Structure 1
Amino acid sequence: MFNAITQSQIFVLDQDEALDFYVGKLGLEVAVDVDLGFMRWLTVCVPGHPERQILLEKPGPPAMSEETAAQVRDLLTKGAMGGWLILSTDDCRKTYETLLARGVEFTEEPTERPYGIDCGLRDPFGNRVRLGQSNAFGTDA
């Protein structure tokens, strides 16, 4: 039946600021940036892997009323609505140091886990991002 998950979504309050963070600091690349008139369809992906994209969606029409969008924005700014992403890396500690030098603020330093090494950060909108390096017990998928 299904053969892939091609897109996931997180809410952001400002798509240009999201680009600065996800592309400028984290090093992802723009997959699609299209003004549809009623919304901006903006996705990013791991460089060279456009088959899996993250939609950086600004809350609002057409997906929701302006009243609901205001509630979502309020919850997002309080850290209660944020989504989450897990990005894999071959070297979590090196990636941590690289991103730290770019000004990324982490909520958790690289930590040994049963499945590998991971660390955590939040984007400017409260979405949680984890960086993970799998070991023999983890998965690479």
Structure 2
Amino acid sequence: MNEYMSGLNLVDMISEKHKVLRDKVNQMSGEPLNKTETHILAMLEQHGVLSISEISRLISISRQGTQKTINNLLAEGYVDTAAKEGNSRDKPIVLTAKGTAACRSMLEIKQNIEAEITARIGREQVELLRTLLTQDWL
């Protein structure tokens, strides 16, 4: 992989690492969730309650695509709808206990992966990477 990675530009390098990390989290979690589903769960965990339109804007996919994914998450019991007075069109979406547990499990997995990365490249390098990724360069 190093030879392949060394031939990539920075954007593609970051994308490849992101893909590997996401695949590892999904594989270790044992949850049958795709990338869009995990992204939606993460947004709900961060924001609490969101409408389908709000989720769609946050994750940059069509409202129809968001609705389809939400329907899958509803069917699997990861999310639920909450009634909102005065708005029957766009129901708020909330995490269920199962959705919250899945988010907590994935967070624990991510923390373990970060510990593995730290063991491989060192605390200073991880802190440098964290600093670089939080800077306003995009």
TM-score after normalising by structure 2 = 0.26
Structure with the higher helix share, 1 or 2? 2
Larger Rg: 2
Structure with the higher strand share, 1 or 2? 1
